[in-house]
Amino acid sequence: MASSKRYDKIAFVASASVEAQSALEQLTEMYGNHLPADADVVVALGGDGLMLQTLHQNMHTGKPIYGMHRGTVGFLMNEYSTHDLRTRLAAARESLINPLLMRATDMHDRVHLHHAINEVALFRQTYQAARLRILIDERERMSELIADGIMVATPAGSTAYNLSAQGPILPINAALLALTPISAFRPRRWRGALLPNTAYVVIEVLEGEKRPVAAVADHDEVRDVRRVEVLSDRTISMRMLFDPGHSLEERILREQFGY
């Protein structure tokens, strides 16, 4: 959807790199710099790591986020330019992102709640493969998966770790989640599943004391979990801005054709 709002008050945030800090200084001098709470839009200067951090920090504010690439990986970022930034912001297209909510219960029955924009992933903590049981909407779908781990990825995260694990690329507006195993040993040929984004996913850890497993929601890690619940949090919609012709939908489509 096209953005038609005026963005007079801009909040700039930047990664610690020299490149990003130099851009921050230059843009602040040209456009000023407001606190995120007072701004109409937040502009993130860095790479995808900074974009994820900025989205997490502004998850409950409703502020639109516009990224400019001053980092390493820039899949979620627009091209960097200091020219006529307010006009670019006004012309940008908006993509709405719903995060995943992870509810992880550890071996001591402590419950940990975290959101993920890209994926919720479970990993083995030792040399022994994890043994996992998978339930979808409270129905057992796999009694035992032996693997290095498994992840639930959003469309926005489907081109990140999910793709590296040979998971499918999802169009950004697809009402789907990718359930992707990480180095599955048994069933050996299982490549994962596509789930509706309304699915309630439960992953139970079997033999957790012998084969400990960690759960990670983007960058928030919980060690020694015994049960992880994942669902799309429809109460939160994050607004990401992209230049026309470079929308997240277009980037994901291009990625599927290898360019």
Largest CA distance in the chain: 59
Distances (CA, A) of 141 to 51, 122, 181, 202: 35, 17, 14, 10
- Give yes or no: residues 86 and 123 share one domain: no
Question: Please, what sign has the CA dihedral across residues 30, 33, 36, 40?
Answer: negative
Q: State the Cα–Cα distance between residues 156 and 258, nearest whole angstrom.
A: 17
Query: Which CATH number is 79's domain given?
Result: 3.40.50.10330
Q: How many domains does the chain have?
A: 2
In the predicted model, what is the mean pLDDT of residues 18-43?
96
Q: What percent of the chain has pLDDT over 70?
A: 96
Determine the 3-state secondary structure of 245 from DSSP.
Answer: coil
Distances (CA, A) of 7 to 63, 66, 79, 84, 162: 11, 11, 18, 12, 34
Higher per-residue confidence, 201 vs 255: 201
Per-residue pLDDT of 2-11, as tens digits, reads 555 789 999 9
Q: Which residues are catalytic?
A: 48
What pLDDT does residue 1 have? 52
Higher per-residue confidence, 242 vs 135: 135
- Give yes or no: residues 80 and 110 share one domain: no
Q: Which helix (H) or strand (E) holds 249?
A: helix 248-256
Query: Which CATH number is 156's domain given?
Result: 2.60.200.30
**Distance from CA of residue 62 to its chain's centroid?**
17
- Give yes or no: residues 150 and 110 share one domain: yes
- Give yes or no: residues 251 and 207 share one domain: no
Determine the 3-state secondary structure of 12 from DSSP.
Answer: strand
User: What is the extent of the structural domain holding 117?
Assistant: 100-232
Cis ω on the peptide bond leading into residue 187 (within 30° of 0)? yes
Indicate the pTM of the whole model: 0.86
